[in-house]
Structure 1
Amino acid sequence: MARVLFLGGLGRSGTTLVERLLGELPGVCALGEVVHLWQRDVRDDERCGCGARFSECAFWRAIGEAAFNGWQNVDVDRIIALRATVERTRFIPRLAARTLPRALHDAVLEYAAFYTSVYEAAALTAGAEVVVDSSKHSALAHCLRWSPALDLRVVHVVRDPRGVAYSWTKSVARPETDGTEEMTRYSAGRSALLWTGHNAAFGLLARRGVPTIRLRYEQLLADPRGELARIAAHAGLPLRANDLAFVDRSAAELRTGHSAAGNPMRFTTGRVELRRDDAWRDALPPRQRALVGAVCAPMLHAYGYATPQKEIS
């Protein structure tokens, strides 16, 4: 049974950094955002985190052979059709039920089986105990919980929604496309609604019995070793004294990884400084900041963030 550590939450919450740090631990294989593997990599042949095209990366070729006897045997159209049928945020209430109608149950299991094959092949290829998927999507996590072949454990990553909203408004080039395309952008109001919805969905997943811990991005930066040790324990991964030597409170040393898709930070290697990005406090316009604070106020309090009336600089 594949043991999968699923990093969930809304994008721009720091999941790529969390994945990269976890990928430095022995016994861990970090795969990036597997949800985008089928279209961006298998079909579009975008670049792996190692810099090579997906089709030219020996690591991913080995996974394809082990999982499907080659990526050419994967029916991407079928996976995309299944995703439209089962993996949508609006389907979460049905996916979170105690039982599923037969047709939906069968479709969910078929969809999850493609991911399971990748996870198992990655663990075998890398000789890993734990596979990390930083897909983030709450609906995907709700699909994966139905697979009897997965030992699914979730790290629910949250970040102050005002920082998330500011990040979504910025223009960020996608290196995979050689700068010809940008990452998706959202308005502050839309990001606030998405932040609330996705985070609530992971709370529901925990109530359905999926082992889940919450990680505040800000706390990770304040105590990287402590938080990584907590995540490793959640994943059932024992650490030795020197396993966290690559990171301290100010920086981490990152090796080349094989993230299939995700934030451009997945291409970064060498010394990476760990510091809070609080630019939103000055750069996010007051009206947008107030809007995000109002929409997210109940969960701001629940997650331990300052509410709009109690903000501190």
Structure 2
Amino acid sequence: MAQVLFLGGFGRSGTTLVERLLGELPGICALGEVVHLWQRDVRDDERCGCGDRFSGCEFWRRVGELAFNGWANVDVDRVRALRDAVERTRHIPRLASANAASDEVREYASYYARVYTAAAEAAGARVVIDSSKHSALAHVLRWADDVDLKVVHVVRDARGVAYSWTKTVTRPETDGTDEMTRYSPGRSALLWNAHNAAFGLLARRGVPVRRIRYEEFLADPRAGLIRLADFAGIPLHPEDLEFLRRGHADLRAGHSAAGNPMRFTVGRLPLRRDDAWVAALPRAQRRLVGAVCGPLLRAYGYPLNITSEA
């Protein structure tokens, strides 16, 4: 049975940073956002985090052989059809019910279970990380027979998330020809609420969920990693954290299937909070997001009033 640490939350909340640091620990293999593997990698042959095209990456070639006897045997159209049928936010109430999952849910989950099991074997890892973030996928995975699922719910101040979604970010996988999705602050506030609330529901269904705040994690990443390794069941020794330095981490190349551009970083990665939103997000937009997300912001310990004014 594959031991899976699923990093969930709404996009631009710091999941890629948490994944990159966890991926440096012994016994852990970070896979990136596996939810995008089928289209972006198997079909479109985008670049792995190691820099090679997916088809040329030895790690992912081995995973494909172990999981499916080769990626050519994966029916990507079938996976996408299953995703459209079961992995949507609107389906979460049904996925979270106590009733048995449908055959489609179990079939969709089985594709992921096979990838996780194969990746653990290929990497010689005890735990694999999927940083797909999608709350609906996490609810699907709880029905997988061959997945021992634990979830790290990463939250970040909704106003910082909203500002990040307004920025233009180029997708390096496409050699600068494509940009990542952007949302208005109002739209991102609604999505922030929906995705984060869904992880609370997952915890109430018996799945082990550990919530961390992006801001607190960056304040003391060493302590944060120790707590997360303990949650994942990975024992650590002092030398296992030597890649963490004062204000930065020294990273090796990884095999992230998809995610934000940080997945390509090798060497020094600065560890500092991105609080540009406090000054850069216009006051009206900051107040809008604060009003829409107020109940959950309070529940997560964030102040509703920000003293710095734009």
| CA-based RMSD | 0.8
Aligned length: 308
Q: Following the alignment from structure 1 to structure 2, what is the Cα–Cα distance between the partners of residues 247 and 56?
A: 30
Question: TM-score scaled to structure 2, two decimals?
Answer: 0.98
Q: Following the alignment from structure 2 to structure 1, what is the Cα–Cα distance between the partners of residues 271 and 123?
A: 27
Counterpart in 2 of 1:75?
A: 75
What letter matches 2:56 in structure 1?
Answer: E
What letter matches 1:234 in structure 2?
Answer: F
Correspondence 1:202 to 2:199:
yes
Counterpart in 2 of 1:5?
A: 5
Structure 1's consecutive aligned runs of 4 or more residues displaced over 4 angstroms after TM superposition are none
Q: Following the alignment from structure 1 to structure 2, what is the Cα–Cα distance between the partners of residues 303 and 288?
A: 20
Q: In the TM superposition, what are the counterparts of 1:227-266 in structure 2 within 5 Å?
A: 227-266=224-263
Q: Secondary structure at the match of 2:3?
A: strand
Q: Secondary structure at the match of 1:5?
A: strand
Counterpart in 2 of 1:272?
A: 269
Q: Following the alignment from structure 1 to structure 2, what is the Cα–Cα distance between the partners of residues 296 and 241?
A: 39
Q: Following the alignment from structure 1 to structure 2, what is the Cα–Cα distance between the partners of residues 82 and 266?
A: 27
Counterpart in 2 of 1:158?
A: 155
User: Which sits farther off after the overlay, 180-189 or 232-241?
Assistant: 232-241
Counterpart in 1 of 2:104?
A: 107
Question: TM-score scaled to structure 1, two decimals?
Answer: 0.97
Q: Secondary structure at the match of 1:182?
A: coil
Q: In the TM superposition, what are the counterparts of 1:139-158 in structure 2 within 5 Å?
A: 139-158=136-155
Structure 2: stretches of 5+ with no match in the other structure: none
CA-to-partner distance for each residue in 1:81-107, whole Å, 9 max, x for gaps?
Answer: 00011000000000000014xxx5211
Contact 1:170 1:185 in 2 (8 A): yes
The CA deviation at 1:238 is 0.7
Q: Secondary structure at the match of 2:234?
A: coil
Q: Following the alignment from structure 2 to structure 1, what is the Cα–Cα distance between the partners of residues 250 and 233?
A: 24
Q: Secondary structure at the match of 2:148?
A: strand
Counterpart in 2 of 1:22?
A: 22
CA-to-partner distance for each residue in 1:35-71, whole Å, 9 max, x for gaps?
Answer: 0000000000000001111001001000000000000
The CA deviation at 1:284 is 0.5
Counterpart in 1 of 2:179?
A: 182
Counterpart in 1 of 2:134?
A: 137
Q: Secondary structure at the match of 2:242?
A: coil
Counterpart in 1 of 2:37?
A: 37
Q: Following the alignment from structure 2 to structure 1, what is the Cα–Cα distance between the partners of residues 253 and 307?
A: 38
Correspondence 1:215 to 2:212:
yes
Structure 1: stretches of 5+ with no match in the other structure: none
1:295 counterpart (284, 289, 292): 292
The CA deviation at 1:312 is 4.5
The CA deviation at 1:249 is 4.8
The CA deviation at 1:248 is 3.8
Q: Secondary structure at the match of 1:18?
A: helix
Q: Following the alignment from structure 1 to structure 2, what is the Cα–Cα distance between the partners of residues 312 and 250?
A: 26
The CA deviation at 1:306 is 0.6
Q: Secondary structure at the match of 2:239?
A: coil
